[in-house]
Amino acid sequence: MTRAKKSAPRKRTPVSRNKATRSGRIYRFLRTFALTSLASFGAATYALNPQWRVHFSPEDILARLGWPAQEQQFAPAPAPAGGFAHTRFADCPQFFPRESPPVVPASQALRELCFSSFAILHNGQTKTPVFVAERLNRKTLAQAQGMQRADRFYAEARIPRAERAELPDYRGSGYSRGHMAPAGDMSTPDAMAQSFSLANMVPQDQTQNAGAWSRIEQDTRKYVMRAAGDVYVFTGPFYAEKPKEIGSGVAVPSHIYKVVYDAATGRSWVHWQANSASTTVGAPIGYEEFVRRTGMKLLPPSAP
């Protein structure tokens, strides 16, 4: 009597691998579904809500449904070297003079964000920008004149939740959501909508924001309208050793700066303002003094 051969035991895939495979397939399905739904829904609503184009992504929608944060993709951080972070801004070098991205003191959670009319280096520890870079000229500001203000603030979904400001953080804080790249500089509807990202904001004293700082922004635009070519502007906060915080950890700057660099003439100057109600418009400081105070090198080495 011939015995039947025993078949080889079936190789079993570990349960954890099966679960991971199923999870990946479900995630890809949901992501595709979210992307398709976004495309259909966005076509009808973008005219009324232009800022959605920036801050709603399939990954953010899935995150809101409870999917793990590691599935999301966020802007890369600059590469630190010797205590300094060398930024790249490979997707938007046009906002920097001679395509020379800045060097800043190294810090955790630095992320580069490109928008249609400005670029931001964001600090997830303070939940505010390190700087916001713009390239302005007479043509862009002429287009900006008469542009309707959006006034639709929104949280920046390209930044992880733990590192970004949210709308409730500013409510009842007593501080303005102070634009670093001003809405008055924006020359297209897209740029105007994007300027209301909270990544472009710092907690700013309301009196200073509407008074002395507004005057500086207006004077900068007047200069650009007279300039022969491009003027590069860097705006951002500076913090005391232990800054005050609002909301869920949004740091309040002690000072706000604006670096102005005329590429045609090589001239540069820096407005340095205390973030307080008593601040008045004063004489600017030199760029070298700004570097000494902050450690940031925002302009090319040959700039004065």
Helix/strand/coil for 174: coil
From 55, 122, 179, 271, active-site residue: 179
The answer to whether 106 and 85 have CB atoms below 8 angstroms apart is: yes
Other residues' Cβ atoms within 10 Å of the Cβ of residue 258: 23
The answer on pLDDT for 1 being more than 60 is: no
What share of the chain has pLDDT > 90, as a percent?
A: 67
**Phi, psi of 2, deg, nearest 5:** -85, 125
Name the average pLDDT for the chain. 84
What is the reported pLDDT for 146? 86
Do 179 and 88 share a domain, yes or no?
A: yes
pLDDT band, residue 51 (cuts 50/70/90):
very low
What is the reported pLDDT for 304? 66
What is the reported pLDDT for 44? 46
Do 94 and 66 share a domain, yes or no?
A: no
CATH number of the domain to which 241 belongs: 3.40.570.10
The answer to whether 301 and 266 have CB atoms below 8 angstroms apart is: no
Q: Of 57, 73, 89, which marks where a domain is finished?
A: 73
Do 146 and 227 share a domain, yes or no?
A: yes
Q: Which of 254, 159, 149, 270 is nearest to 202 (CA)?
A: 254
What share of the chain has pLDDT > 70, as a percent?
A: 75
Reading the block at residue 281, the tokens are 């418009």
What is the reported pLDDT for 66? 40
Residue 62 or residue 123, greater confidence:
123
> Based on the structure, what is the number of domains in the chain?
2
What is the reported pLDDT for 36? 53
Residue 11 lies in a domain: no
Residue 18 lies in a domain: no
Do 52 and 142 share a domain, yes or no?
A: no
Mean pLDDT of 166-186: 98
Residue 275 lies in a domain: yes
Residue 129 lies in a domain: yes
The answer to whether 269 and 279 have CB atoms below 8 angstroms apart is: no
Do 32 and 157 share a domain, yes or no?
A: no
Q: Does residue 179 have an active-site annotation?
A: yes
Do 62 and 96 share a domain, yes or no?
A: no
Which residue range(s) make up the domain with 57? 24-73
Do 59 and 140 share a domain, yes or no?
A: no
What is the reported pLDDT for 14? 45
Q: Of 73, 95, 112, which marks where a domain is finished?
A: 73
Residue 250 lies in a domain: yes
Residue 299 lies in a domain: no
- Can you say whether the dihedral through the CA atoms of 176, 181, 185, 187 is positive or negative? negative
Other residues' Cβ atoms within 10 Å of the Cβ of residue 114: 17
Do 189 and 263 share a domain, yes or no?
A: yes
The answer on pLDDT for 48 being more than 80 is: no
Residue 304 lies in a domain: no
Do 183 and 155 share a domain, yes or no?
A: yes
